[in-house]
Structure 1
Amino acid sequence: MSGLVDALVIMAVITLVIVRQFRASRIDTDRRWWLLPGILAVLALREPHLLDAHHPTTAALVLGAEVTVGLAMGAAWAWTTRIWVEPDGAVWSKSTKASVAVWAVGIGLRLGLFGVGTLLGVHQDSSALMLALATTLLVRSGLLVRRTQSLHPAPAPATAYGDGVPRSAWKERV
């Protein structure tokens, strides 16, 4: 894919993820939570310019740092996400203000890595960012699914005698 298409795909995925995660959403542990990160990783890894041909070692180090930031960001994002269980057993999640800080720090680190790579003369393609984003989403989703498996539904409130019995409406007498 061209750099412009990669950039548009990355921006669309980030926008979709951020908008969805800052609203309460139900977590379904049965669905294929690894599918979107897997597709992004495949798209990134099939790019021929993932590593700079003129500086392969330095490019590999920068890419490794980018993926490491993605791992750390995904783990931090998962641990700053609030999860809870409804009485019916449904598990819900919502990102918190701390998640915003995780995103801000992660973007800052990635910009710093891009600057370091540029100073070292490494040509960086958007596929490295796409691979790091795939890593972030995979780690976050995997940790959230793991966290939800340890949760139990809230106990149903105890009923009192007469609960559930229909009551007759009060009739006023004139």
Structure 2
Amino acid sequence: MSALMNVLLALAAVALILVRQFKPQQVGGSRRWWLLPALLLFFSVRNGGLVDQHHRSGSLVLLGAEVLIGVLMGVGWVLTSKTWTEADGTVWSRGTGATAGIWVLGILVRVGLAGLGALAGIHLGTGAILLALAASLLVRGGLLMWRTQPAPASYGAAAAAACAGSARPSRRGSLD
């Protein structure tokens, strides 16, 4: 795929993510939350070129930093998203103003990285953007699913059933 197609794919993915993050979305409504990140990962490595062959170590450091920023953005998106449970038991999520701030900060840091790379003569292709975006989405989706798991009751028959192993314990306490 050409660099232009990668850019168009990245822009389309960002537009889709922005629309989905800032309007209420049901969490767990689709078991395929990992599909878009998987496609972005596929397209990022499909043509190679993630590493500048003339500046191998420098481009690996920049690529690692790009992916790390993507992971941190995914964590930031989860921590700044509002989540709630409706009366019917469905869990919903929506980005907040702080989520928008994470977007802006992440873009600024990525532009800064690209500038540093350009000053050093390192060329990271558009695959690096797709890879970092895939990392952001995988982290956000996974943590959001983990964060919104229902907690078992701590009293009565439900607690006895949980102790007997028929209910799954919650792991949500660390992010709430």
TM-superposed CA distance for 1:29, in Å, is 5.7
Moved more, 107-116 or 19-28: 19-28
Equivalent pairs: percent with the same residue?
A: 45
Q: Compare relative contact order (CA 8 Å, sep 6+) and give the higher one, 1 or 2.
A: 1
Give secondary structure in 2 for the equivalent of 1:92: strand
Q: Using the alignment, how far apart are the partners of 1:20 and 1:11 within structure 2? A: 14
Q: Root-mean-square deviation (CA), in Å?
A: 1.5
The aligned counterpart of 1:37 is: 37
Name the structure with the higher helix share. 2
CA contact (8 A) 1:81 1:99 kept: yes
**Larger C-alpha radius of gyration, 1 or 2?**
1
Q: Give the whole-Å Cα distance in 1 for the aligned partners of 2:150 and 2:61.
A: 37
Q: Where do 5+ consecutive residues of structure 1 fail to align?
A: 153-174
Deviations 1:123-167 (A, max 9, x none): 121000000000001100111000110458xxxxxxxxxxxxxxx
- The reply on whether 1:120 has 2:131 as its aligned counterpart is no
- How is 1:1-174 mapped onto 2 (pairs within 5 angstroms)? 1-28=1-28, 31-150=31-150
- Cα drift, residue 27 of structure 1: 1.3
- On the 8 A contact 1:85/1:151 being kept in 2, the answer is no
- Post-superposition shift, 1:30? 5.5
> Which aligned segments of 4 or more residues in structure 1 are displaced greater than 3 angstroms?
none
The answer to whether the 8 Å contact 1:85/1:92 transfers is: yes
How many residues get paired? 153
**Structure 2 regions of 5+ residues with no counterpart?**
153-176
Deviations 1:69-116 (A, max 9, x none): 001010011110001001110111100000000000000000000001
2: CA distance, partners of 1:151 / 1:103: 30
